[in-house]
Structure 1
Amino acid sequence: MTDVKPMRADARRNYERLLEEAQRAFAEHGVEASLEEIARRAGVGIGTLYRHFPTRDALLETLLRARFDAQAERARELLAHPEPLNALHTWLAGLGDATGTFRGLVELTADALNDETSRLYESCHAMREVGSQLVERAKRAGELREDVTAHELLLLLHAASWAGGHLPGEGGMQRLLALVFEGLRAS
Structure 2
Amino acid sequence: MRADARRNRERIVAAALDLFAEHGAGVSMEEIAQEAGLGVGTLYRHFPDRRALVEDIATGTLTALRDHVRAGADEAVSRWEVLVGVVRYCAGQPLALITRFSDASPKSETRSRLVHEIDALLADIVEQAQREGSVRDDLTPGQIVGLINVAVCRPGARADDPLATVILDGLSTASTRRGS
Q: TM-score, normalised by structure 1?
A: 0.66
Q: Which runs of 4+ in 1 moved over 4 A?
A: 9-14, 161-164
- Structure 1 unmatched ranges of 5 or more: 1-5
Residues 44-100 of structure 1 show CA distances to partners (whole Å, capped at 9, x for unaligned) of 33x654453244343123234444333222222222333112211221231233135
Is the 2:58–2:98 contact (alpha carbons within 8 Å) kept by the matching residues of 1?
no
Residue of structure 1 equivalent to 2:15: 21
Is the 2:135–2:172 contact (alpha carbons within 8 Å) kept by the matching residues of 1?
yes
Is the 1:96–1:157 contact (alpha carbons within 8 Å) kept by the matching residues of 2?
no
Residues 185/172 of structure 1: CA separation in 2 closer, same or farther (3 Å cut): closer
Residue of structure 2 equivalent to 1:117: 108
Residues 99/156 of structure 1: CA separation in 2 closer, same or farther (3 Å cut): farther
Q: In structure 2, give the amino acid aligned to 1:185.
A: S
Residues 165-185 of structure 1 show CA distances to partners (whole Å, capped at 9, x for unaligned) of 39xxxx575432221122223
Matches within 5 A, 1:5-154: 15-41=9-35, 42-45=37-40, 49-79=43-73, 80-99=75-94, 104-108=97-101, 111=103, 116-117=107-108, 120-154=111-145
Q: CA RMSD in A?
A: 3.6
Structure 1 distance, partners of 2:99, 2:84, is 18
Matches within 5 A, 1:167-182: 171=158, 174-182=161-169
Residues 135-181 of structure 1 show CA distances to partners (whole Å, capped at 9, x for unaligned) of 12112223223343454344433433466739xxxx57543222112
Q: TM-score, normalised by structure 2?
A: 0.67
Q: Which moved more, 1:128-137 or 1:49-58?
A: 49-58
- Name the structure with the higher helix share: 2
Q: Percent identity, aligned pairs only? A: 30
Residues 147/48 of structure 1: CA separation in 2 closer, same or farther (3 Å cut): farther
**Alignment coverage as a number of residue pairs:** 171
Structure 2 distance, partners of 1:120, 1:133, is 20
